[in-house]
């Protein structure tokens, strides 16, 4: 039971993070400037860190 719940929350967290990342990247690419490219790379790094932290919480 707890394995199913853990897997479900991992999936939900991963899906949310991926959706946020796609939204941020899409909105930033529409503007297309050097400042926005830096923001996009920072946003990607932040989402990767969040995903790692979520995975670590469930271990």
| Model confidence pLDDT, tens digit, residues 1-59 | 567 777 787 788 788 888 887 877 777 677 766 777 777 788 888 888 887 887 777 76
Domain ranges of the chain: 2-57
CA 33 from chain centre, in angstroms, equals: 22
Q: Are 58 and 10 in contact (CB under 8 A)?
A: yes
Q: Between the CA of residue 32 and those of 25, 38, 42, 44, 50, what are the distances in Å?
A: 10, 11, 15, 16, 25
Reported pTM? 0.47
């Amino acid at each position: 039971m707890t394995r199913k719940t853990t897997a479900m929350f991992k999936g939900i967290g991963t899906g949310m993070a991926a959706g946020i990342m796609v939204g941020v990247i899409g909105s930033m690419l529409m503007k297309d400037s050097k400042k926005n490219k830096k923001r996009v790379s920072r946003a990607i790094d932040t989402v990767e860190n969040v995903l790692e932290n979520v995975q670590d919480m469930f271990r």
